[in-house]
A and B are shown apart, each in its own frame.
Chain A
């Protein structure tokens, strides 16, 4: 039992090590103190920014955009992925297009989406949704296509119609892979949203906060915003993992 308990605290080692290294770096002044504030300063800036300053508001704006983008992407990509995956011929015929745009950096699409949607939120959200949707559609389609043949056959042998095989077996078979897609999709959406917030005529969001702090040379604020973005990405991932564990209890078993 004691060994299991000790294992739980292992991740703390890395965090403690990083903080220690950071304190030492500040103490011996390896880097200019203006460029690298101490951890204490940074976390105070984060605390103040989150609860009194603009950081909290910017954080919520980024959460809002990323959530919207992911929801839109999922709403389009999950049904589309199921449709494409249920017919291997259909998927093979569009595979190249999906792979091509999946490999295209979504940031390269900004100018196009700017022309289409203007400089507002719609552009940021739609570029992020576009990137996330391609990742999700690819994973869902593969999840459906890789449904265990025996399981499909078992349903067929018991007299299930094609539509029942789809709803009762294929959809559930694809859920673990769908969650892989959702986790990757939300991470990508966050990346795109934060980048978009830095540049195209933005007035809020974590990207804007990082960029503005850097421009104002407010280094503790900048590090605080970076950590907030990191915490957000980690949080999204964790959220999907918990939802998956709850609803896709058979995943990996």
Chain B
């Protein structure tokens, strides 16, 4: 595996929109088949199937307790599945590199390491040398245009900055897929708006397949190429709604007819599922 060139590749080739669309029509990136999971007596997933398209940003939205976070935790291997198969390009999870961003950045970052050392940590686990770790991290920072003093410790940064450090820590290994579990829900509204656009920029720049769990419908639609709407448990796909507005999207996007239509449709499906429960 060529570990060094990943960031560079995505920096230099920068995947134009046309080829991204072409890639989307190829085979799915992640295939979930027959996924089952029971917690105690509640059956959260029962023979659940899902295809996640390559290079897209998927938002997961659904009623409280339907297992949104559980789904990405199962896919990312944080909790074991009872039954079923999850493959990434036909490979099992252990053979691929992925990034995971927790909701609680305060508890996910290591406070004893400086921010830059936090970002480098996964590279250390990959047994890369100090010089190479620093080089890759600095390249990622420059590429994303992040203006944070990374010599500081995480607890010296604002919430949004800490979550940005978390996201960079997930991205530094050049993941094939990025999971985010309600990454902005601990931030204030102003910071959430800022971070949405940061995430969108990161997605446009890297083209990494991204799965985002959100509890905010506006955010879910605004960021997504496709919104996965789940039903109450055992969860089924209530709808898998495409939203194809051009990127970069901005505040103006929020008042466009297409956005309003997709959001209204998602809300309707959501309400229907809530009433069923």
Binding site for B on A (CB under 8 A): 148, 150-151, 153-154, 156-160, 164, 168-169, 172, 175, 248-250, 253
Question: Which of B107, B112, B125 has a CB less than 8 Å from the CB of A148?
Answer: B107
Interface pair A250/B108, CB less than 8 Å apart: no
**Would A253 and B110 count as touching, CB distance under 8 A?**
no
For residue B94, give the distance in angstroms from its CB to the closest CB of chain A: 9
B76 part of interface (Cβ distance < 8 Å): yes
Contact B122 A150 (CB under 8 A): no
- Residues of A within 8 Å of B76, CB to CB, are 157
B155 interface residue (CB < 8 Å to A): yes
Query: B102 on the interface (CB 8 Å rule)?
Result: yes
B104 interfacial contact with A, CB 8 Å: yes
Instruction: State the Cβ distance, B91 to closest chain A Cβ, in Å.
Output: 15
Q: Can you show 12 pairs from A to B with CB atoms below 8 A apart?
A: A148-B107, A150-B102, A150-B107, A151-B107, A151-B108, A151-B110, A153-B78, A158-B169, A159-B122, A168-B110, A248-B112, A249-B153
A-B contact count (CB 8 A): 44
- B184 at the A interface (CB under 8 A): no
Q: Are A250 and B112 closer than 8 Å at their CB atoms?
A: yes
B100 lies within 8 A of chain A by Cβ = yes
Q: Measured between alpha carbons, how far is A172 from B111 in the docked complex, in Å?
A: 9
B111 touches A150 (CB 8 A): no
A249 to B110, CA, bound (A): 12
By a CB distance below 8 angstroms, the chain B residues around A156 are: 78
A158 contacts B110, CB within 8 Å? no
Rounded to whole angstroms, the CA-CA distance of A182 and B108 in the bound complex is 27
| CB-based nearest A residue for B79 | A153
Please, how many residues of chain B have a CB less than 8 angstroms from a CB on the other chain?
Answer: 20
For window 151-204 of B, CB contacts with A under 8 Å fall at 153, 155, 169, 173
The closest CB in chain A to the CB of B122 belongs to: A158
Given the complex, which residues of B lie within 8 Å of A151, measured CB to CB? Answer: 107-108, 110
Q: How far is the CB of B112 from chain A (nearest CB, A)?
A: 5
Given A249-B153, A250-B112, A250-B153, A158-B125 contact (CB < 8 Å): yes
B121 near A: Cβ within 8 Å? yes
Distance to closest chain B CB from A202 (angstroms): 43
Contact for B125 among A160, A172, A175, A248, CB less than 8 A: A160
Given contacts A156-B78, A159-B125, 11 further A-B contacts (CB under 8 A): A150-B107, A153-B78, A154-B102, A154-B108, A158-B121, A158-B125, A159-B126, A168-B110, A172-B110, A250-B112, A253-B111
Nearest 5 Cβ contacts at the A-B interface? A250-B111, A150-B107, A253-B155, A158-B122, A154-B108
- Min Cβ gap B121→A in Å is 7
Bound form: Cα–Cα A159–B121 in Å:
10
Which of chain B's residues has its CB closest to A158's CB?
Answer: B122
A153 to B109, CA, bound (A): 11
Complex: how many Å from CA A164 to CA B111? 17
Docked complex Cα distance between A164 and B76 (Å): 20
A159 to chain B: which residues have CB within 8 Å? 122, 125-126
